[in-house]
């Protein structure tokens, strides 16, 4: 009997499989090189909370319990304490993750879409189209976005869709400007010029030639904007003009906590920690992506 | 140079005009009669009709827009519905100094602390100080402004009882501005620190600095007299660009600390559904931001002549 320390594969196929797995692991390791582990883990946790909130949360987030108000965190019952209406803070935190993640992702999606289209059109068509679109973009950039957001939600009524619309339509400018810069650089390149010379329409050039080459920047921007979107949503909720009650939002939890700041420390502190961690994770992931997706490498 | 200034001014005016257009339409967003937002639910139909006529909302849109612009050029931004029906411009103007005090104080705090920490970090890269600084900066940029405010109140008003938590400068004296300025400036400290650090590190590795060092200049002089000046340029513009975003951030800060500025005026006007006032605040804030942007561009053009030509 052989005394090998390594288990030999039994046959040719097993050897090939083993190689394939090793190669896959190697690729995974390469893809995630230098990744901010804590941030990615936290983002995953937030995503899981967002998707499976009712299954994970120990208590109902909206059932009030007047006999149980403002209880300090204790390990047996309410892990993170209760709020001013007796609701379990941990459960509200988990459901609040749903709000933040959903609104964050969808509003960034909206902003990215609008911004990408405007950036592409501006960069490819240039000329007066570019000038008008950029003037339009500058106009939006000059708006005090929080003030406008508050007014818009106040007028449209507070609902999840309105908040998403408002945040999305006030954050597209960053995408438009940066992507336009990228597009302008790409348009000068030979492969685009050749396509134009071959008679490709501007639209075709935008979609087939330029867009695939800006996906890296787009992804980095989207990740960084996610953090900002979460903060804007929390700010809107904090001022009472975010998602409608009693839907839990980390921002409105902080708003409620203001009145009880002399009585409880956990109520004002804990939702804020959640917001900070989520935004930090998004920012660190964005930074990592920006370094990883260096323009000298292949696009994602 | 003069031509560039003129060009920027013209662009600024166009941008501002676009904003007034947007603000004009925002009020008609809901599709319904704006008057219905402004009146309490108990208002009768007669009240609605009377107020509609008074505000001219029954006239065609073009006519309304014409009246809006005419009044704007005359400096009439409408009258408030609450606040004793005073002209909104007056209401805004009264509160501008408070907001300016807050934003300036935050800026000053942020620049002094942020730039200093950034410079020290850059001169000792990867040291303990630098590493802690980096982490603190990332956390600082992720904390929402209002939470920083709440934490400061928790620590300094509730537990330590050192500082008052609400009011403006007149009522509280200089102590009243510490926490609001710190909340608003916190995020900026992190921003400035990172920018100064990375710019200075770049500069410190440049040939120019190597030459100065090889001439035998002591390290301290190298850092502060030469590297620092060069690193200041992007900080300078970040400085002013952030000023515009501060206006937005001031809204939440003023609300938490009951600061009598235009941010709080906006929130109050929204609660009271006093949309003429809301409109006035937004127009004013936008004009201010456009002005600051023009200032930044002009300064940049003055510092870097290549920009004037492009």
Q: Name which of A144, A227, A254 is nearest B247 (Cβ-Cβ).
A: A144
Residues on chain A touching B270 (C-beta within 8 angstroms):
150-151, 154, 241
Q: A2 versus A214: which is more confidently predicted? A: A214
CB contact under 8 Å between B147 and A254, yes or no, is: yes
* pLDDT for residue B57: 67
pLDDT at B230: 67
Q: Is the pLDDT of residue A300 over 50?
A: no
Chain A CB contacts of B11 under 8 Å are 135, 138
Q: Which of A83-87, A91-95, A185-189, A269-273 has the lowest mean pLDDT?
A: A83-87
Region A122-129 average pLDDT: 87
State whether residue A266 sits within 8 Å of chain B by CB: no
* Residues forming beta bridges with residue B87, ordered by sequence position: B79
Q: Does B158 sit within 8 Å of A155, measured CB to CB?
A: no
Condensed to tens digits (0 to 9), the pLDDT of residues A227-274 reads: 999 999 999 999 988 888 778 889 988 988 888 888 888 888 989 999
> Which residues lie below 8 Å from residue B243, measured CB to CB, with a gap of 6+?
B103, B107, B292
Which residues from chain A sit within 8 angstroms of residue B22, using beta carbons?
Answer: 139, 143
Residue A95 scores a pLDDT above 60: yes
Task: Collect all residues of chain B within an 8 Å Cβ-Cβ radius of residue A286.
Answer: none
* Residue of chain B nearest A278, judged by CA positions: B142
- Interface A-B: count of C-beta contacts within 8 A: 129
User: Residue A148 pLDDT > 90, yes or no?
Assistant: no
SS (H, E, C) A168-207: HCCCHHHHHHHHHHHHHHHHCCHHHHHHHHCCCCHHHHHH
A235 and B CB contact within 8 Å:
yes
Question: For residue A115, is pLDDT > 90?
Answer: yes
Percent above pLDDT 90 for chain A: 21
- Report yes or no: A154 at the B interface, CB cutoff 8 Å: yes
N- to C-terminal Cα distance for chain B? Answer: 12
Residue in B22, B142, B146 closest to A254 by CB: B146
* Stronger pLDDT, A148 or A9, i.e. the higher one: A148
> Is the distance from CB of B288 to CB of B304 less than 8 angstroms?
no
Question: Which residues in B lie closer than 8 A to residue A279 (C-beta atoms)?
Answer: 142-144
Interface check A132 vs B, CB under 8 A: no
Do B264 and B92 contact (CB within 8 A), yes or no? no
What's the CA gap between B89 and A270, in Å, rounded? 40
In terms of Cα–Cα distance, which of A90, A88, A105, A107 is closest to A43?
A105
What pLDDT tens digit does each residue of chain B (310 aa) get? 778 788 888 888 888 888 887 777 776 655 556 666 666 666 677 777 777 776 666 667 777 777 777 777 777 777 776 777 778 888 888 889 888 888 888 888 888 888 888 888 887 877 888 888 888 888 888 898 889 988 888 888 877 777 776 655 555 667 778 888 888 888 888 888 888 888 887 777 777 777 777 887 777 766 666 667 666 666 776 766 666 678 878 899 998 888 888 999 999 888 887 777 888 888 888 888 888 888 877 777 776 666 555 5
* Cβ pair A155:B247 closer than 8 A: no
Higher pLDDT, A88 or B63: A88
- For residues B256 and A84, which has the higher predicted lDDT (pLDDT)? B256
Assessment of whether the complete model's pTM goes beyond 0.90: no
Output the average pLDDT for chain A.
84
Cβ-defined contact of A150 to B266 (cutoff 8 Å): yes
CA angle B260, B249, B107 (to 5 degrees): 90
Chain B CB contacts of A38 below 8 Å: none
* B187 min Cα distance to partner chain A (Å): 12
CA distances from A179 to A142, A210, A284, B234, B237 (A): 19, 10, 21, 22, 22
């Amino acid at each position: 009997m052989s005394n090998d320390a390594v288990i030999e594969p039994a046959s040719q196929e097993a050897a090939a499989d083993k190689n394939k797995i090793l190669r896959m692991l190697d690729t995974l390791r390469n893809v995630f090189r230098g990744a901010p582990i804590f941030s990615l883990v936290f983002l995953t946790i937030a995503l899981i909370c967002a998707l499976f909130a009712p299954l994970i949360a120990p208590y109902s987030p909206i059932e009030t319990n007047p006999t149980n108000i403002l209880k300090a965190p204790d390990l047996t019952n309410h892990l993170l304490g209760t709020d001013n209406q007796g609701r379990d803070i941990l459960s509200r935190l988990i459901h609040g993750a749903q709000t933040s993640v959903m609104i964050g992702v969808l509003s960034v999606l909206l902003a990215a879409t609008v911004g990408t289209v405007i950036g592409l059109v501006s960069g490819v068509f240039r000329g007066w189209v570019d000038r008008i679109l950029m003037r339009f973009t500058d106009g939006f950039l000059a708006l005090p976005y929080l003030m406008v957001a508050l007014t818009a939600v106040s007028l449209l009524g507070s609902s999840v869709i309105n908040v998403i619309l408002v945040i999305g339509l006030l954050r597209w400018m960053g995408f438009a400007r940066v992507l336009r810069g990228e597009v302008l650089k790409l348009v000068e390149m030979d492969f685009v010029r050749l396509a134009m010379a071959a008679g490709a329409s501007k639209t075709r050039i935008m979609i087939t030639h330029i867009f695939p080459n800006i996906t890296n920047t787009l992804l980095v921007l989207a990740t960084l904007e996610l953090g900002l979107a979460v903060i804007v949503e929390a700010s809107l909720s904090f001022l009472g003009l975010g998602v409608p009650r009693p839907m839990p939002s980390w921002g409105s939890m902080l708003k409620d906590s203001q009145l009880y700041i002399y009585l409880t420390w956990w109520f004002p502190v804990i939702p804020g920690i959640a917001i900070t961690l989520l935004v930090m994770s998004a920012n660190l992931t964005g930074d990592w992506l920006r370094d990883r997706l260096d323009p000298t490498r292949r696009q994602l | 140079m003069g031509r560039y200034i003129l060009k920027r001014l013209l662009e600024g005016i166009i941008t501002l005009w676009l904003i007034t257009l947007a603000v004009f339409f925002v009020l008609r967003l809901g599709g319904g009669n704006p008057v219905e937002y402004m009146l309490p639910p108990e208002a009768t139909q007669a009240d609605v009709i009377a107020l509609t006529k008074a505000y001219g909302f029954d006239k065609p849109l073009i006519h309304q827009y014409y009246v809006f612009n005419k009044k704007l050029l005359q400096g009439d931004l409408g009258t408030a519905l609450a606040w004793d029906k005073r002209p909104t411009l007056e209401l805004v103007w009264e509160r501008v100094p408070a907001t300016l005090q807050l934003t300036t104080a935050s800026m000053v705090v942020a620049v002094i602390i942020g730039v200093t920490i950034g410079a020290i970090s850059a001169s000792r890269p990867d040291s303990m100080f630098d590493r802690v600084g980096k982490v603190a900066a990332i956390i600082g940029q992720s904390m929402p402004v209002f939470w920083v405010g709440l934490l400061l109140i928790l620590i300094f008003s509730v537990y330590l009882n050192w500082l008052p938590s609400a009011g403006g400068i007149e009522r509280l004296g200089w102590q009243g501005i510490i926490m609001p300025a710190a909340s608003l400036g916190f995020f900026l400290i992190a921003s400035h620190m990172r920018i100064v650090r990375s710019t200075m590190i770049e500069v410190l590795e440049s040939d120019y600095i190597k030459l100065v060092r090889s001439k035998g200049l002591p390290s301290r002089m190298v850092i502060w007299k030469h590297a620092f000046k060069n690193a200041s340029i992007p900080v300078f513009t970040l400085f002013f660009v952030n000023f515009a975003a501060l206006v937005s951030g001031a809204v939440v800060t003023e609300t938490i600390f009951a600061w009598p500025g235009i941010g709080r005026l906006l929130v109050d006007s929204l609660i009271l559904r006093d949309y003429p006032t809301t409109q006035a605040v937004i127009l004013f804030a936008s004009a201010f931001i456009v002005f600051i942007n023009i200032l930044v561009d002009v300064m940049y053009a003055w510092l870097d002549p290549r920009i004037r030509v492009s």
